[in-house]
Amino acid sequence: MLVSLSLDKSISKDVAIMVDVLRASATINVALNNFNKVIAVKDKDNAIELAKKYNAVLAGERDGAPIPGFDTGNSPVEMQNFSGDTLVLTTTNGTRILEGINATALVGSFINAKSVAQKASEIAEDHIEIVMAGVRGRFAIEDFLGAGEIISYLKNYELDEMAMAAYMASRDEEMVKKAIMNSKSSLTLQKLGFLEDIKFSIKKNIYDIIPIYEKGIIKNYTN
Ligand SMILES: O=C(O)[C@H](CS(=O)(=O)O)OP(=O)(O)O
Ligand SMILES: [Mg+2]
């Protein structure tokens, strides 16, 4: 089994795990705890239309700030206050990356690293790709380190060099925390008042939810 690491664009036709540590992966995990499904949308106007059509809660952000007129932004902490049948979610990076995945697409982060890695191991034939969301196509260290945490549960497989690097970089907990707290994404979010989201998003294995994305809909994986 090959484990590879990509940025923004997915190449796998087998299993891909989208990693967007700050904050879409965490928000999606929390949402699937409170909603039956999440409709992930790249486009803001499309999100508004779908929320009306499905009488859904409408959540989204651009560059970290909640979209005016939406019910809520992309805060995993605030998402705990919402529940229902369907959530429509549009974010700057994570929901966009999912649309570009042609493999079986799972969503992972620190908060569900062990569960998502185990499920990927179960269902993949020969290739598990971890796709870092990054920020608008640029490398984001939090997604690299979150990928490394997931890879730590896949380390007995054949790791490509990027995957090996992420695994190695993610081993020192104090360094990981410091690097993420001082990352560009984190400093932006802290300025917007979302420090609690960052602390929440880097907690390890607090969820055993396995979000699976198929044709725009994210649900909790059931066998
Ligand atoms: O909402 C977030 O935390 C980020 C905002 S930014 O574009 O990285 O500044 O979006 P996400 O899609 O969760 O990476
Ligand atoms: Mg992000």
Interval 41-52: pLDDT, tens: 999 999 999 999
Q: What is the pLDDT of residue 155?
A: 87
What average pLDDT score do residues 44-67 get?
A: 97
What average pLDDT score do residues 73-82 get?
A: 98
Residue closest by Cα to atom 7 of ligand 1: 63
CA 112 to chain centre: 10
CA 66 to chain centre: 17
What average pLDDT score do residues 101-108 get?
A: 96
Q: Give 28-43 pLDDT, tens digit per residue.
A: 999 999 999 999 999 9
Residue closest by Cα to atom 11 of ligand 1: 93
Q: Give 173-221 pLDDT, tens digit per residue.
A: 999 999 999 999 999 999 999 999 999 999 999 999 999 999 999 999 9
- Is residue 162 within 8 Å of 170, Cβ to Cβ? no
- What ipTM does the predicted assembly reach? 0.97
Q: State yes or no: pLDDT of 95 exceeds 80.
A: yes
Q: State yes or no: pLDDT of 223 exceeds 70.
A: no
Residues near ligand 1 with C-beta < 6 Å? 20, 22-24, 61, 63-64, 74, 91-94, 133, 135, 185, 188-189
Q: What are the structure tokens assigned to 164, written together? A: 């090996």
Residue 196 backbone dihedrals phi, psi, to 5 degrees? -60, -35
Q: What is the pLDDT of residue 222?
A: 80
Burial (0-12, 13-18, 19+ Cβ within 10 Å), 42: middle
What average pLDDT score do residues 78-107 get?
A: 96
- Is residue 59 within 8 Å of 79, Cβ to Cβ? yes
What is the distance in A from the centroid of ligand 1 to the CA of 156?
32
Beta partners for 218? 38, 213
77-81 contacts at long range (C-beta below 8 A, 24 or more positions apart): 77/194, 77/196, 77/197, 77/200, 79/27, 79/30, 79/31, 79/34, 80/30, 80/34
Domains in the chain, CATH or no CATH each: 2-22+102-206 (3.90.1560.10), 26-94 (no CATH)
Which residue, among 32, 47, 41, has the nearest Cα to 85 in the 3D structure?
32
Q: State yes or no: pLDDT of 90 exceeds 90.
A: yes
pTM of the model: 0.97
Ligand 1 atom nearest to CA at 24? 13
Q: What is the pLDDT of residue 146?
A: 98
Which of the ligands is closest to the CA of residue 23? 1
